[in-house]
Structure 1
Amino acid sequence: MFTAHLQEYALNKYQGRKKYYTALWEEIEEALKGCTEEEAVLMRFLYGTMPVRDAGEYDFSVFLSYVRHSLWLRRNMEWCRELPEDIFVHHVLYYRINSEDISDCRKFFYEQLKGRIQGRSLEEAVLEINYWCAENAVYEATDERTASPVTMFRCGKGRCGEESTFTVTAYRSVGIPARQVYTPRWAHCDDNHAWVEVYLHGKWYFLGACEPEEVLNKGWFTVPANRAILIHSRTFSDFMPSPSEECIGKEDLLTYYNNTSYYAKTRELAVTVKDPVGQPAEGAFVALEILNMAEYFPAVTLITDSRGEVHVSAGLGDVRVRAWKGDAFGEKKVSLKVTGKAELLLECSREKTDWVTDKWERTEVSAPEECPLHLEKETREQKERKEKRLKEAGQIREQRFAAYYDEELARAYTAEAGMLRVSGENIGEILAFLTRDENPDRKPMLHSLAVKDYKDLKADILEDHLCCEQGSLARELYEKYLLCPRIHREELTPYRSFIKKYFTEEEKERFVQNPEQIWSYIKAAIRYDTVVDYKTICATPIGCLKMKQGSPLAQNILFAAICRSLNIPARLNQVTLAPEYLNQGTFTVPEGFTNGQKVKSTAKEDGASLLLKAAEGSKWNYFQTWTIGRLEGAHFDTLNYEGVPFENNALELVLEPGIYRLVTSLRMPDGGQQASQRVFYLKPGEQKSIEMILWENKAEDILVNYPLKDFKLQDNTGKEYNISELRTEEPGILAFLGVGAEPTEHVLNELLASAVHWNGITARMIMVLREPGEQKNGTLHRVLENLTGIELYYDKERSCERAAAAMHVDADKLPVLILLQKELTGIYACSGYNVGSVELMLKLLEQQQIKRRKTNE
């Protein structure tokens, strides 16, 4: 069935992994003897291309289940039988899509779907499967750990990366090639996004994951995608007999493909890199960085050829091009709308610091302009059918998950009611752990976990961690840094019993007497080779010890896991992710750990402090209006101060000496940014003070004055109101929502994040839903609980279309937000995906309130 080329490729890749699979090699070889020839080829392909950590985390039988199911599909599904070999192995066979937990699930998904696609054409099957996905999962903002497709099915909610992983799994399970497509960062707003492409009749088509349409190449993200700088897909191997897409190189284990030109207007950018004496710098790294979330994010990294050049197609916006070789680097802003060439000189380094000016430098960053390439439209009949089916999908999903929640049980466990509500089918695991006996640590352990853990935790794994001793520890320290089984975003495993058996009594005693020895052991025993791993995931403590392989983050987690297993409180520093253990009441980084800064409690005598001063009334939100990064080698690594507030217009940071970069950014309504940066050196023992600056846009530059014609809305009872009857003296927000869809979820989450600001200025919103059932949405429910001044109405006469048309925004791109004056005049509006729109609306609303009061005075 397979070509000699694939067989040879698989064998060579597999044999090249022998040095990494030392602990498992004989076991794998023995298991291969029980495989057919075809199965053995694909198993070697997987073991030869997978992240090495996967081999240590999952059993041979799990991978074999993927191989056998894909071979069955190849034989029995006509559309799978005709696929090119590379498309089959990458986009049907392959078990990993993102950074999700892996389980034997393809046959399960096939059984769920086979009845839905029977007798349908390939195109019809693609559309129908996405409706099934919508019946079982919907968007919800969550943390960055990627839940598995099975978890998504069992809990029904997840972020875009999880929705797309779930949907790709559904397609691959029936033999339809599918892949996850990413824009690593948008250019016009602060976020990223993932969706799905499916392969039909020799061509890729896109669709929104769990967001069905009646036609392909259509989704709410179509317009944002045509404003992207970079959109890519990836495979876990470079097996590509006849590449048909622009390969933008490899990063560690992955091979990346540039899909940007399919979605947006692009230009080829040619970058030439020269060394300090002006000669071509071969082998230099070149990154295209997008300013997003107030940091310069490397969207793609390339390596220069013998002429010191790299070439890449990218969207027509502003990027920062950064090149480096060793510790020498250079950078500049490039506007792709204007030019397709850039030359960089590697003239900066830690030693040569004339580039460290310690002055604020301002720059304007433009996003690509809107220029749709895909103009697929639904007929009115298709639109009505979609609305009907989406409503039915929502009802099916809500009814299924409502059946798992037990109100009587929740009343018995009031403090745990929230975790029971979000757990979906996993409620049984929570109850099994919670009710096993009267151990007083059961509830605290559950409460120490992340919300996502309630959706996929296993009772027997938690049992493994009920072996701690509080002793004289304060309760908070005990629960957070000893009892809790979660250290970062790794998969939860029964690592305590494994670690206790893994080390000898002598080793454990030595570790307890001096935890510094734990770090010494890890540095000596655990290696890391980036070319055989995927940095987005990291080995668990068990996998790290089994394979003797783990990323720097995995090693930090392992340190904390060993400590906790030996009853030593430990954690990862929330700012730097450095490992720390409790040493005489202070969390201490082990000697020999050199990756970055320490928080105030662990600063040494030669530490330095930075006092950031803010103007009265200014609002500073980390990863929105500012970040700070420390120069590590030739890179600025962004520190994590998310959630750390300025108090009394100031924030003090205790940092290690070094070179730092402050970045501030203000997003403009057109998607562009007004940014500033300041690079400075922090000396040992120095106490430095910096005044924060942020460009201010003038309201008059973005406000309009469009009259709206009167239209009708309905309340919960069906009573009709003219919008003119609902207006008040003060300006307010008119919001047409698409509850349950990702853009509206973002707006609702922004409202929650802005609750204090919102309630403080007594803002008012006329919130318009499409139908009463949307009130059941959990995010909307939290908004209504936490924010004042919100009134609910329904739009049964397509008033949104008329209002959006009057404001010159697109009614099909919900949510539509309109800042409305008393006179039924719209002064600002936006539609669709615009992260930061709530804060902008609040700012404009506040300005209008002040202006109105001054006028009345």
Structure 2
Amino acid sequence: MKTFTHLLCVLILSIVLFACNNAHFLKEESYRNQVAQDFEQKKQALPHGDLFAIFADSILSVYEREALMFLYAYMPIGDVTDYPGDYYLENVRLSKQTRDEMPWGTEIPDEVFRHFVLPIRVNNENLDDSRRVFYDELKDRVKGLPMKDAILEVNHWCHEKVVYRPSDARTSSPLASVKTAYGRCGEESTFTVAALRAVGIPARQVYTPRWAHTDDNHAWVEAWADGHWYFFGACEPEPVLNLGWFNSPASRGMLMHTKVFGRYNGPEEIMLETPNYTEINVIDNYALTAKAIVTVTDADGQPVADAKVEFKIYNYAEFYTVATKYTDAEGKASLTAGKGDMLVWASRDGQFGYAKISFGKDDVLQLSLNRKEGEAYSLPMDLVPPVEGANIPEVTPEQRAENDRRMAQEDSIRNAYVATMMTEKQAKEWIDKLYGNTLQPEKKEKLVNFLVASRGNHQTLKDFLSAIRKEKDAVSWEEIRAIWILESLSAKDLRDVTLDVLNDHLLTNISDWEKIETDLFKRMYLNPPRIANEMLTPYKKVLREAIEKTVYQSVPDSMKRDPRVLIEWCRKEIKINNELNSQQIPISPMGVWKARVADEKSRDIFFVAAYRSMGWASAAWIDEVTGKVQILNEELAKEDVNFDTAEAAQSRKGMLQATYTPIRSVEDPKYYSHFTLSKFKNGTFQLLNYDEGETDMGDGTTWRNLLKYGRELDEGYYMMVTGTRLASGAVLSNSTFFTIESGKITTVDLVMRESKDQVQVIGNFNSEATYRPVDSTEQRSILQTCGRGYFVVAVLGVGQEPTNHALRDIAALGNDFEQWGRKMVFLFPSEEQYKKFNADEFRGLPSTITYGIDVDDSIRKEIVQAMNLNNSILPVFIIADTFNRVVFVSQGYTIGLGEQLMKVVHGL
């Protein structure tokens, strides 16, 4: 009897195991067949490099095989080439384990789990092991909580790790953000989505590509619980869901979207379907909306099918595409958006047309492709954003107090970690110990700055520098090159670069006589790791050896330095497939080499990497303004690489000069703030990306240093967009179309329109700027003090008549400022100045004032520079908001300042 019972148990266990091993991940047969079809097409499109080897593993269960098939069917090319199959298999197994172990695992519908838990990629970040690491840290913390409480708890954990700070556009991986302890909103939301998915909670990153009422964008998180999607600010814990500082601006949004991995058939409006993702519109979760239908016709009034229809929002002085649709057989395309104004741009076969549409007012729009390249004219346009209508959930005082207590505790946890990073003093001591007196002081200072800037990645830099330190009494040429490599990296690169990347790029061989330290020399011989916004990888040694054996095997020595050889090889051997990399996430150079398939951008990066890897006395790069691949020829002149003709040649150029008549609020228009330039290509205009920070000619690109005296541009058709942002968020724009002819000067008017009635945005001020409150030893940001919205910042000159007048004027209207209720931060140049200040002399000053010290004169300097003020005159007053917009400025002696301030306040 015992034997029979034992055999029965074994049989039942075998049946259960067999059933488990053959359980489908893709349970719906029709969807499973669609994925299988897409997967086979992907395999056929990527026949080289044995990229699908993981599927040869005979121990894969049905579930694992189907989950992997789903991932591989819709991955961008770089995810296939740059990460091994075992990595994805581990993530499939981890996600299943989480679903089995977490109490909400059985509550999540298969479709929701498939698209919002299993996928690893969130944005364009490097992929990492965050799912495993985060699950180990979080599982016990959330396991006993209801699902909505678990979402809130994960966000508290995220706040322990990461806080907001601006950074460049490349997105750090979740683990790199943890190592850094800060990130911009796109990185915070990528990190938080990864954390939620790690514990089996469906999550997605939501973007407003651009706000309509201010020059900025934002990203946050939506998480699924109990059948509904809820939103919140990533790493910004609130007591309840559907609450964040952005509730009000989101109610003025015109479009919020998210990119869903794979083919998705959810309830949301589908905006775009690609071979990698489905873009959905979630604006209805945040704002009042309306739907509009656009009909595109040709010049004869006949409907045009398959026309590209771009819906554009004015932002950063350009018309930025926030949604792309294609017309049906009747020439129609539709969009649901917030109730404000957009520009609709339609194009096909080089012809185009455009018009403004007001959602909520215009249900239909007929658009004719009646514009042609070469027409010269200007077009003024007024654009009005949606009005505010925020829905704020209720929070009790007890909830707010508890949340504040927890956030303070989380700040201390994060700050304890930050304290383990290298300080300037520690870095200086380490560098002094390593180099003694053998290194020049300026180079030592650079290395100190690199170590401090590397944050939690400082050990990587220390290992890199220590390993090549061989001689105690001298600095080797290799060490000088190492400093150059670090110098070439961005601040973000310093925070997440790996040792194998640094060592690989140190291998460049340079003969002794060529050791001349100039920028041109560094570009030609060092050929730094960073090319565009790709993941930094070690490729130089392996790629050089592979190219020598393959590309140059039968090429005569006299031809090996001819760039046309490598250009021709790329043209013939690398198949361009932009659709398979819809998100334009760069494929690594070795990934392109393996697959021999790439999108155009990744092909360009590969060419530059390959050209640099050969160690020739030349240079290759991607031009930051135009995006063109360029090289230096033997005469050290720039040449454009043309993969269609397999040639490199100097482009034909003309000169653009712009005249400008200043308006009262803008003396020298800034690029991205007041104007932009775009070049026509394939029916639409592509932005020229001039530097917004530091240029050779000054602090950022402006009319004066770009166009007043003329600037060379490639010949072609161009558009200049200008705009004056009003305090209401509305824009007075002007678009000018013109042609640049080779060898000729084209002169246009840069027109800044102005309103004599409405409050205008007249400049920028960083609300993250810090000062020291007079009752504290720690610095705080203006944002921390004032919260979201408008505020007043002033730098005072104690005892000076202009300051006394200003303070008395404000005191006289103290009640009005009290009723306004917004914070005012009044700063003193020094502690000594503050001690001389007697507030009793100015009775009636509002209680909304916070007093502080302008540490290192930093805030005054920023205001003076941004607003083109006199460097030595106080007081300075501005009204600004936390979108960094300045709507009022006053400097020096001003009669009736209080009334002027209140007039602007009422205008807001």
TM (normalized to structure 2)?
0.78
Going from structure 1 to structure 2, the CA distance change for 1:474 and 1:44 (only over 3 Å counts) comes to same
Question: How far 1:256 sits from its partner (Å)?
Answer: 1.0
Q: Distance in 1 between matches of 2:324 and 2:39?
A: 27
Deviations along 1:103-149, whole A, 9 cap, x unmatched? 22211101111232132211211111101100100111111111100
Of 266, 273, 276, which residue of structure 1 is paired with 2:296? Answer: 273
Q: Distance in 2 between matches of 1:801 and 1:120?
A: 45
Going from structure 1 to structure 2, the CA distance change for 1:700 and 1:531 (only over 3 Å counts) comes to closer
Q: Distance in 2 between matches of 1:175 and 1:238?
A: 21
Q: State the one-letter code of the partner of 2:454.
A: S
Going from structure 1 to structure 2, the CA distance change for 1:476 and 1:293 (only over 3 Å counts) comes to same
Counting aligned pairs with the same residue, the percent is: 29
Deviations along 1:324-345, whole A, 9 cap, x unmatched? 1221211101122422210011
Structural mapping, 1:491-530, within 5 Å: 491-505=535-549, 507-508=551-552, 509=557, 512-530=560-578
Alpha carbons 1:155, 1:422 under 8 Å: kept: no
Q: Does 1:237 align with 2:237?
A: no
Alpha carbons 1:636, 1:660 under 8 Å: kept: yes
Question: How far 1:174 sits from its partner (Å)?
Answer: 0.3
Q: Does 1:486 align with 2:530?
A: yes
1:306 corresponds in structure 2 to 329
Going from structure 1 to structure 2, the CA distance change for 1:378 and 1:480 (only over 3 Å counts) comes to farther
Of 149, 164, 181, which residue of structure 2 is paired with 1:139? Answer: 164
Across the two proteins, how many residue pairs are aligned to each other?
Answer: 761
1:554 corresponds in structure 2 to 602
Of 877, 881, 890, which residue of structure 2 is paired with 1:845? Answer: 890
Of 622, 625, 628, which residue of structure 2 is paired with 1:578? Answer: 628
Q: Distance in 1 between matches of 2:846 and 2:361?
A: 36
Going from structure 1 to structure 2, the CA distance change for 1:846 and 1:505 (only over 3 Å counts) comes to same
Question: 2:205 aligns to what SS in structure 1?
Answer: strand
Q: Does 1:264 align with 2:287?
A: yes
Question: How far 1:526 sits from its partner (Å)?
Answer: 1.4
Of 413, 417, 420, which residue of structure 1 is paired with 2:448? Answer: 417
Question: How far 1:24 sits from its partner (Å)?
Answer: 4.0
Q: Distance in 1 between matches of 2:134 and 2:416?
A: 20
Question: 2:42 aligns to what SS in structure 1?
Answer: coil
Q: Distance in 2 between matches of 1:638 and 1:75?
A: 48
CA RMSD in angstroms, aligned pairs only: 3.7
Alpha carbons 2:628, 2:641 under 8 Å: kept: no
Going from structure 1 to structure 2, the CA distance change for 1:675 and 1:134 (only over 3 Å counts) comes to same
Structural mapping, 1:374-773, within 5 Å: 374-405=391-422, 407-413=425-431, 414-438=445-469, 439=478, 440-471=480-511, 472=514, 475-483=518-526, 484-505=528-549, 507-508=551-552, 509=557, 512-567=560-615, 568-593=618-643, 604=651, 606-615=652-661, 618-642=667-691, 643-647=700-704, 650-698=708-756, 716-717=774-775, 737-738=783-784
1:227 corresponds in structure 2 to 252
Q: Distance in 1 between matches of 2:41 and 2:359?
A: 41
Of stretches 24-33 and 488-497 in structure 1, the one that deviates more from structure 2 is: 24-33
Deviations along 1:214-238, whole A, 9 cap, x unmatched? 0000000111111111111121211
Q: Distance in 1 between matches of 2:701 and 2:655?
A: 16
2:475 corresponds in structure 1 to none
Question: How far 1:670 sits from its partner (Å)?
Answer: 0.6
Question: 2:66 aligns to what SS in structure 1?
Answer: helix
Q: Which runs of 4+ in 1 moved over 6 A?
A: 761-766, 783-793, 799-802, 850-853
Question: 1:17 aligns to what SS in structure 2?
Answer: helix
Question: 1:845 aligns to what SS in structure 2?
Answer: strand
Unaligned runs of 5+ in 1: 704-712, 720-733, 755-760, 767-782, 794-798, 805-816, 820-825
Going from structure 1 to structure 2, the CA distance change for 1:194 and 1:399 (only over 3 Å counts) comes to same
Q: State the one-letter code of the partner of 2:355.
A: K
Alpha carbons 1:134, 1:211 under 8 Å: kept: yes
Question: How far 1:685 sits from its partner (Å)?
Answer: 1.7
Alpha carbons 2:668, 2:704 under 8 Å: kept: no
Question: 2:576 aligns to what SS in structure 1?
Answer: coil
Q: Distance in 2 between matches of 1:140 and 1:497?
A: 36
Of stretches 479-488 and 172-181 in structure 1, the one that deviates more from structure 2 is: 479-488
Of 112, 127, 132, which residue of structure 2 is paired with 1:102? Answer: 127
Alpha carbons 2:574, 2:598 under 8 Å: kept: yes
Of 336, 345, 370, which residue of structure 1 is paired with 2:359? Answer: 336
Question: 1:333 aligns to what SS in structure 2?
Answer: strand
Unaligned runs of 5+ in 2: 1-22, 432-444, 470-477, 692-699, 762-770, 796-801, 808-825, 838-843, 850-862, 868-875, 901-908
Going from structure 1 to structure 2, the CA distance change for 1:786 and 1:747 (only over 3 Å counts) comes to farther
Alpha carbons 1:736, 1:800 under 8 Å: kept: no
Q: Distance in 2 between matches of 1:714 and 1:61?
A: 51
Q: Distance in 2 between matches of 1:160 and 1:656?
A: 36
Q: State the one-letter code of the partner of 2:487.
A: H
Q: Distance in 2 between matches of 1:628 and 1:479?
A: 30
Question: How far 1:294 sits from its partner (Å)?
Answer: 0.7
Of stretches 273-282 and 508-517 in structure 1, the one that deviates more from structure 2 is: 508-517
Going from structure 1 to structure 2, the CA distance change for 1:26 and 1:236 (only over 3 Å counts) comes to closer
Going from structure 1 to structure 2, the CA distance change for 1:326 and 1:700 (only over 3 Å counts) comes to closer
Q: State the one-letter code of the partner of 1:487.
A: I
Alpha carbons 2:828, 2:834 under 8 Å: kept: no
Q: Distance in 1 between matches of 2:345 and 2:66?
A: 41
Going from structure 1 to structure 2, the CA distance change for 1:739 and 1:588 (only over 3 Å counts) comes to farther
1:178 corresponds in structure 2 to 203
Structural mapping, 1:341-356, within 5 Å: 341-350=364-373, 353=374, 356=375
